Amino acid sequence: MLVSAKDMLVKAKAGKYAVGQFNINNLEWTKAALLTAQECNSPIILGVSEGAGKYMTGFKTVAAMVKAMIEELKITVPVALHLDHGTYDGCYKCIEAGFSSIMFDGSHYPIDENVAKTKELVEVCAKKGMSLEAEVGSIGGEEDGVIGKGECADPAECKQIADLGVTMLAAGIGNIHGKYPENWEGLSFETLDAIQKLTGDMPLVLHGGTGIPEDMIKKAISLGVAKINVNTECQLSFAAATRKYIEEGKDLAGKGFDPRKLLNPGFEAIKATIKEKMELFGSVGKA
């Protein structure tokens, strides 16, 4: 069922667990994510970056694929199709394409401009029954060309954006997209605690879910994180499983070069990673 992310996140925040956002790149990724969510009886958010949307030939293709797959695979758990780190223009393209949720990443604008643009999108999304994620304080590292310095968000600015009526709020707390460097200082729970105290019931979003130690994930959930984004970790497990298949020469044996065989270990690896994350985030059985 394609739905907005609102209900699943309100429930997650109240129930002290988090819903995973898993970014998709192609048909195999999408199928792996949807089937795992169904098997785990878990809600799921499919994240699509602007780069991945372009790679899949455009947001309309993505929306059509996801909707058809939900129907043909008989997926009954709640699924949100969500634009990840959207630009202002990208948000409107996804609204038109039939996404059920968008993220407007206005973190690089001065706060007043972030507020004005987010406010406008809150109204548009409300009319369409869509959920909206806003961002304050950029997430560090690079994702599909979106580069952030990784500063901690100002809790007062978070409140200002939360009060506009967004569905969920991503706040920088020292998290980074991609692998964490050896000298990473960890998440700033002080910042997270201050943000949650000012924003109350607002579901908070933790980007850069790859490589955050389990105890930090659990502590973040206890401090109001209700959505956790994972992208790189699925890419790494897909790549490792595919590498193993080829290094073992399996593509050269019989019809091992058949793409349905060649891509299968990677597909299964994505499924295993998503299942592991759903168990860690506590969303299993919460559909």
Residues annotated as part of the active site: 84
Residues forming contacts to ligand 13P in the complex (CB under 6 A) are 23, 47, 84-85, 143, 177-178, 207-210, 229-233
Shortest reach from residue 258's CB to ligand 13P, in Å:
30
Nearer to ligand 13P, 225 or 245 (CB): 225
Nearer to ligand 13P, 24 or 245 (CB): 24
> Tokens 């995973």 identify what position?
20
CA contacts within 13 A on the Cβ side of 25: 14
Nearer to ligand 13P, 208 or 265 (CB): 208
Within 10 angstroms of residue 183's Cβ, the number of other Cβ atoms is 5
Within 10 angstroms of residue 105's Cβ, the number of other Cβ atoms is 26
Residue partners of 66: CB distance under 8 A and separation at least 6: 2, 30, 34, 46, 79, 81
Shortest reach from residue 230's CB to ligand 13P, in Å:
5
Residue partners of 89: CB distance under 8 A and separation at least 6: none
Spatial distance between the Cα atoms of 142 and 270, rounded to a whole number of angstroms:
21
Spatial distance between the Cα atoms of 282 and 206, rounded to a whole number of angstroms:
15
Q: What angle do CA 101, 34, 78 make, to 5 degrees?
A: 50
Contact 83, 103 (CB under 8 A): yes
Nearer to ligand 13P, 173 or 245 (CB): 173
